[in-house]
Amino acid sequence: MLFNTLDFVIFFIVVLTVFVIIKNRKFQHLFLLLASYFFFYYSSNYLITLLIFTTIWDFYFGHFIYKASNIERKKLYLIISLAGNLGLLGFFKYADFAIMQFNFLGQYFDLGENIPLLNLALPIAISFYTFHSITYTVGIYRGHLEPAKTFTEYAIFVAIFPQLVAGPILRAKEFLPQLREKIENAHVGGKLRRIVIERRNLKFGITLMIFGFVKKMFFADNIAPLVNDVFSNPIGYDSLTIILTTIAFGIQIYCDFSGYSDIAIGAALVMGFKIPINFNKPYFSISPSDFWRRWHISLSTWLRDYLYIPLGGNRKSNSRTYLNLFIVMFLGGLWHGASWNFVVWGVLHGVYLAIHRAIVNQFPILSRLDLSEHRILKFLAIIGTQYLVFFAWIPFRVRDVDGMIYAMQKYVFIEVSTSSFIETIKSFEIPVMLIGLFIVLHYLSYRKQNMVEWVSNLKTMHWFLFSTICGLLIVLFYGGTPNEFIYFEF
C-alpha cells in the first residue's frame, strides 16, 4: 500500500479510530499486528509468508540464544539464525543476479549452455525487515536485551506498518520497550502499553507527514520526468544537461526517500511510537563521513554497528581501517540491489571514506578544525562533498553501463553546449523551477534548525492554513497516478 494514495489515508484513519474506540490493550496490540499484515499483504500478496517465516524463525532463535547454557551454543544458535535470514535475503534478491554472472563467465570461457534464470519475484521490504530481525538476535546474543515476552510484541516490532516497506531500520532494543509501560528502576517493562492518540503527538506527527507528502508528491514526482527522460538514455546529451539532471536526481531521491521516512515517522508518532530520524540535512555535509552521519542514518549506523565494528572498525592498522570502510560500502551498495551500478555507487563511497580517513590521519589538525568559525572553508567543504556525492548518484540511477560511463565523463569533463541545455530547460520548465525552489527552501531549512517543530507549534488557524496550502500544491501538481517510492525496490 502506497502512502501517497487515498487507500492509505482511509486505512490510517480506520486504524486510529479503532485505537480511540477500543481501550483493551491486548486487542489494540493484536489489531496493530493484523493491520500491519494487511498493509503488507495489500501490496505483496502471498510474499507475506516470507515476512511471517522470518518473524517466527528469529522469535524462537532469540529464546534459544537467551536460554543457551554456554557461549558456544549461543554462538551456534546465532549463526543458524543469521544463516536463515541472510540465506533467504540472498536467495530471493541475488540468485538470478549470480546466475547471470555465471552465465556471462560461461559464455566468455565457452563452458556450455546457460543456466536458466529462476525469475524470482523480489519480496518488497525484505532488505529492511531482515535487518530489523538481525538486531533482535544479535542484541540478545550481546546481552543488550531480553527476548520479547510474547510473539505478538516481536511480530509488531518486525512488521509495524509505517516503516515496514522502506524503513527507517528499527532496532529491537529501542522499539520493544515502547510496547510496555516503563517501570522505574527496572530493566524490563511492566504491562502492555495502551495505545493513546495524544494531541501533541497528533499535531507534530501530522505536520511531519505533511512535509513528507510535499517532498514526495510535489517535489520528487514532478522532478522525475526530467530525470527519466535524460537518464533513460543519457548518451548524446551535453555536460550541462547531465549536471542538471544529476542535481535533479539527487533532489528527487532525497525528497522521495526522506519524504517516505517523514511519513513513516509521523504516522508512528501519531500512535505514540518513536522511530529514529533517517535524514539530517545531508546536502550540507562537510565531508564523506559527515554525509553518512546525515543520509539514511538508520542504515549507516546499522552497517557501522553490525558490520564495520565486528570487522575491526578503526581499532587496527590504518590500511585495515581503509579496507573495512571499502568492504562496508561495497556491501552497502549491493544491499540496495542486485546490479553492478549499485556496486559502483557503493565502491565510490567506500573510496571517498577511505581517502577522507587517510587525509585526516595524515593531517590530524583537520579533525580539530571548527569550520563554523571559517565560513569560506565550510562553504568549500560543502561544495566539494556534494560534488562527489552527486557524482556517485549517476551510477546509482543509470543502469546501462555505456550510458553510465558517458554521463560520468560528461559530469567530470565539462563541454559547454548552451543550445541543447537551453532546449532541455524549455522542455522541462516545471522540474527546473522546482529544483530552484527546493534549493531555496532547503537553505532556509538549514538556517532554521527544526522547521517541522516550528510549523507544528503555530497557532491552530495558522497551522491549518499551512496544511491547506500544502494540500493545494499537491493536488494542483498531482499527475493522476501515484508513483511508487524509489526505495520500494530495495
pLDDT of residue 291: 96
374 is catalytic: no
State the catalytic residue, choosing from 132, 336, 349, 356.
Answer: 336
Domain boundaries of the chain, sorted by first residue: 6-196, 201-489
Distance CA 302, CA 299 (A): 5
HSE-up (13 A, CA, CB side) for residue 388: 25
Confidence at residue 419, expressed as pLDDT on a 0 to 100 scale: 75
Q: Is 93 left (phi over 0), alpha (psi -120 to 50) or beta?
A: alpha
Q: What is the largest CA-CA distance in the chain?
A: 74
Nearest Cα to Cα of residue 289 among 251, 327, 256, 329: 329
Cell representation of residue 117: 534464470
Q: Which of 32, 1, 7 is nearest to 19 (CA)?
A: 32
Q: End-to-end distance of the chain based on CA atoms, in angstroms?
A: 16
Q: What cell numbers appear for 330 in the block?
A: 561495497
pTM for the predicted model, two decimal places: 0.92
Q: What b/e string do you get for 343-363 counting C-beta neighbours within 10 Å, with b at 16 or more?
A: bbbbbbbbbbbbebbeeeeee
**Which pLDDT value is given to residue 315?**
86
Task: List C-alpha distances in Å: 154 to 28, 45, 159, 317, 412.
Answer: 15, 22, 9, 40, 49
Give the chain's residues under pLDDT 50.
none
For residue range 351-389, list pLDDT tens digits in order.
999 999 999 888 887 777 777 777 888 899 999 999 999
pLDDT at 398: 93
Over the stretch 22-76, which tens digit does the pLDDT of each residue have? Answer: 889 999 999 999 999 999 998 888 889 999 999 999 999 999 999 998 999 999 9
d(CA 52, CA 74): 23
Residue in this structure with the C-alpha cell 477500543, named with its chain if needed = 22
Which pLDDT score is estimated for 458? 86
Q: What's residue 189's pLDDT?
A: 61
Rounded to whole angstroms, how far apart are CA atoms 164 and 151? 17
Q: Rounded distance, CA 443 to CA 8, Å? A: 31
